[in-house]
Amino acid sequence: MKSVKPCIVCLMLAVLLVAGTPAPGFCKLKSGDAVPLFTLQDLNGKTYDLAAMKDQPMVILYFFDAASRPSQQGLLSLDELAKKYKDTDLIVWGITRSPLAKVKQFVKKAKPSFPILLDKAGVSDKYEAKLVLPTICILGPDLKLLDFFQGGGKTTEIMLVKLAQRQLQRHRPELAKAISEKVVKQNPKNVEAKTIKGYAELKTGNIKAAEKTFYDLSRTKGKGEILGKEGLSQIYARKGDAAKARRLATEVEKKSGQRALVNIVKGDLLFSENKVKDAEKEYLKAIAKKSASPSHRAMAYNQLGRIYATKGQWDKSRKMYRQAVALDPYYIEATSNQGFTFERQGKWSEALAYYRRALALNPHDLFASTLAAAARKMVILQQDKERQKALARQVAEVVKRYKAGAPVKPATEDGWTTQEAMVVTILEPVESGGLSVRDGFTRVLAMNLAQQINASGRVKAVDPLLLQMVLEKLGLKKKDLAREETQMKLGRAFKARLVVKGRLFHLLDGSIIHLKLVDTDDGKVAASIEREFASTATLAKDMRLLNRELLTTIMTHYPLKAYVVDVSGGQVLINLGKKQGVITGTRFDVIETKPPVTYKGKTFSPKPSVVATLEVFKVEDEFSYAHILKDQRRPVYKDDKLIEAVAQLGEDETKLW
């Protein structure tokens, strides 16, 4: 019999919160090694090449015996989850050396959603999956081994707990919760699975459910009490009860000295109190706990990287981020943070490379996608001389207007008609409060708002790249932009009617954005907007809602105004078009003004009455065509006044008009 060497800890059975123990089983590969590549076929002769899966964040290889029910147990559990959660990217390849007849019998009965591959090339030998089955390998980015398991029964439960943790790391809390609940249903005493369930609930914003899960755990004895109180310390920190959070964190630290999360909780609280040096000490304590969960140590490394980045210590910051990713390969926050350190230094190619790595982990990550788009634009610009010249001319024109300091007011030929589309200058908000896990939050917020506003067609936002280059040319720093006079001069230089500025305040349970819309004509605040971002996991949705509220606010305070040029049947020609911000679907109220009424020495000015409503169906540069909607009170005539009708949208609506 071929001898088998003990595996050098191919995996740490560390759930999110628990220092691990060696997995049952042996392998020649070590965690972090690139695995052997292979090509196999399924029953239908379809070829599967592992090399082609290099860009997948996770691939599970499940070696099993098609004639053994215990060997199939884990595969069937994974298949059940994949069928229930069809929108997840759970990629599993079943691999077997069993006789063809047995494989056909298994496939016919189980009807797996995963491919079942026939190992006729000795792949099982390369993965030490011959003597003990099942053998399960969880592969991470670049097809590197993350976790290795051998054996059924209890090992299947261990494998599922580890997989739940990995899904939590990948920002798949719903799937992590489902897997952990499945484990708990089979084994109610599995405290690691219950803990993952609590953190999955916390990541989805269900703080009440998470608090109950951790409270129930804290009432048990042993490991469950530690995990429960540790989770509660984070819950109370997020709820703003710093004293209770610290008390629980200290209690956990005394009972179990290798708990790193409690130091992170303390560090975050200290940073929010502006005690940066003390916060740094707590994060350093966390990374020193070698037996702590790798995920928690990664969090501490990331926070240290954020602190050093605020001081401009880029190399030191990047070193911390690299350590974080080494411990947790799915740590997308640390990956994109590395990119932002390069961006701060103007090294756009390097920044783009890290943003792309982050997008490989999650193509829908708002931070990485927004920052990558800007970096890509800069890389292309550096290679396009003509574009550089054109942009330089634009910058020079804006700088000239800024230095001249002359206000730019839109001309109104007839005193009513909107002459130009609304232009806004969006400044990056001022950041304060706690230490956000993600660097570049204000940059992403401003850029994403500008992108969405421009996509609407109704309002034009100044190009963030142009704004950045103008600021650099003028030598304006953050302290300069804090002055209202500078803000107004900058807005007028861009011919913007509004300057959007604000403050982003980080709490432990999210962030609050407070925006002010300042009119460049008179310097007065036209409107204010406040919105809470629950977490970076829901940032994309929160940004859409913020954008919708911003657009609606602008339209309400600065509606388009027009005249009826001609009426032909139910079709109306309007003297506004794309140039003024009209888009298909824009609605206008036909209004009828009434003269002031004087009664017993008092004068009353009636509001204009709406006599009909129009909806635009065709838009040209200077004119638009609209249909008359139902319920008109009188016919629409030439020279009737029109004013934009702004609908107040609910949070579930996806269209602005």
- Model pLDDT for residues 245-298, shown as the tens digit of each residue: 999 999 999 999 889 999 999 999 999 999 999 999 999 999 999 888 899 999
Residue 537 has a pLDDT of 63
Is residue 139 a contact partner of residue 51, using CB atoms and an 8 Å limit?
no
Is residue 472 a contact partner of residue 495, using CB atoms and an 8 Å limit?
no
Residue 655 has a pLDDT of 42
Is residue 590 a contact partner of residue 564, using CB atoms and an 8 Å limit?
yes
- For 351, the token pair is 């920044």
Residue 654 has a pLDDT of 37
Q: Does the pLDDT of residue 160 top 50, yes or no?
A: yes
* HEC assignment per residue over 541-597: HHHHHHHHHHHHHHHHHCCCEEEEEEEECCEEEECCCHHHCCCCCCEEEEEECCCCE
Is residue 409 a contact partner of residue 488, using CB atoms and an 8 Å limit?
no
Cα–Cα distance for residue pair 573/451, rounded to 1 Å: 30
Query: What is the distance, to the nearest Å, from the Cα of residue 341 to the centroid of all Cα atoms in its chain?
Result: 19
Three-state SS at 433: strand
Per residue in 206-225, pLDDT (tens digit) is 899 999 999 999 999 899 99
Residue 203 has a pLDDT of 87
Cα–Cα distance for residue pair 214/232, rounded to 1 Å: 6
Q: Does the pLDDT of residue 318 top 70, yes or no?
A: yes
Report the predicted TM-score, pTM, of the whole model to 2 decimal places: 0.86
State the DSSP H helix or E strand holding residue 455, giving kind and residue range, or none if neither: helix 441-456
Residue 535 has a pLDDT of 64
Q: Which pLDDT band holds residue 408 (cuts at 50, 70, 90)?
A: low
Cα–Cα distance for residue pair 145/137, rounded to 1 Å: 7
Is residue 196 a contact partner of residue 183, using CB atoms and an 8 Å limit?
no
**pLDDT mean over 399-420:** 80
Q: Which residue has the higher pLDDT, 15 or 81?
A: 81
Cα–Cα distance for residue pair 637/476, rounded to 1 Å: 52
- For 592, the token pair is 């009828």
Q: Which residue has the higher pLDDT, 22 or 511?
A: 511
- For 515, the token pair is 């925006």
Please state the length of the chain: 657
**pLDDT mean over 93-120:** 96
Residue 86 has a pLDDT of 77
Per residue in 181-194, pLDDT (tens digit) is 999 999 999 999 99
Is residue 283 a contact partner of residue 260, using CB atoms and an 8 Å limit?
no
Cα–Cα distance for residue pair 179/142, rounded to 1 Å: 25
Cα–Cα distance for residue pair 232/226, rounded to 1 Å: 10
Residue 653 has a pLDDT of 39
Please write down the long-range contacts of 144-147, taking CB distance under 8 Å and 24 or more positions apart: 144/32, 144/33, 144/34, 144/35, 144/329, 145/10, 145/29, 145/30, 145/31, 145/32, 145/33, 145/34, 145/35, 146/11, 146/31, 146/329, 147/10, 147/11, 147/23, 147/31
Per residue in 477-513, pLDDT (tens digit) is 988 999 999 999 999 999 999 999 999 998 877 889 9
Per residue in 579-595, pLDDT (tens digit) is 999 999 999 999 998 88
Per residue in 521-579, pLDDT (tens digit) is 999 999 999 998 876 667 788 889 999 999 999 999 999 999 999 999 889 999 999 99
Three-state SS at 379: helix
Q: Which pLDDT band holds residue 407 (cuts at 50, 70, 90)?
A: low
Residue 597 has a pLDDT of 87
Cβ-based neighbours of 280, under 8 Å, separated by 6 or more: 267, 304, 307
Q: Structural domains in the chain?
A: 1-170 (3.40.30.10), 385-557 (3.40.50.10070), 561-644 (2.40.10.410)
- For 261, the token pair is 């999360």
Residue 43 has a pLDDT of 95
Q: Which residue has the higher pLDDT, 336 or 17?
A: 336
Cα–Cα distance for residue pair 307/437, rounded to 1 Å: 10
Is residue 60 a contact partner of residue 138, using CB atoms and an 8 Å limit?
yes
Per residue in 584-625, pLDDT (tens digit) is 999 999 999 888 888 888 888 888 899 999 999 999 999 999
Pairing of strands 498-507, 510-519: antiparallel
Residue 524 has a pLDDT of 95
State the DSSP H helix or E strand holding residue 63, giving kind and residue range, or none if neither: strand 59-64
Three-state SS at 225: helix
Cα–Cα distance for residue pair 488/477, rounded to 1 Å: 15
The whole-chain average pLDDT of the chain stands at 90
Please write down the long-range contacts of 537-544, taking CB distance under 8 Å and 24 or more positions apart: 537/171, 537/173, 537/203, 537/204, 537/205, 538/205, 539/366, 539/367, 540/364, 540/366, 543/366, 543/445, 543/448, 543/449, 543/452, 544/452
Three-state SS at 235: helix
* HEC assignment per residue over 67-117: CCHHHHHHHHHHHHHHHHCCCCCCCEEEEECCCHHHHHHHHHHHCCCCCEE
- DSSP letters along 479-512, please? HHHTSHHHHHHHHHHTT-SEEEEEEEEEETTEEE
- DSSP letters along 252-297, please? HHHH-TT--HHHHHHHHHHHHTT-HHHHHHHHHHHHH-TTS-HHHH
Q: How many CA atoms lie within 13 A of 390 on its CB side?
A: 6
Residue 536 has a pLDDT of 62
Which residues are 156's β-sheet partners? none
Instruction: Indicate the Cα dihedral angle 310, 314, 319, 323, nearest 10°.
Output: 40
Residue 53 has a pLDDT of 96
Percent of the chain residues past pLDDT 90, beyond the cut: 79
Residue whose token pair is 């078009």: 577
Span of 69-73, 207-211, 408-412 with lowest mean pLDDT: 408-412
**pLDDT mean over 455-462:** 94
**pLDDT mean over 92-102:** 96
CA distances, 317 to each of 42, 46, 278, 309, 321 (Å): 47, 47, 18, 5, 6
DSSP-based helix, strand, coil % in the chain, nearest 5: 45, 20, 35
Q: Does the pLDDT of residue 649 top 60, yes or no?
A: no
Cα–Cα distance for residue pair 506/113, rounded to 1 Å: 43
Residue 539 has a pLDDT of 79
Nearest residue to 266 via CA among 254, 255, 258, 275: 275
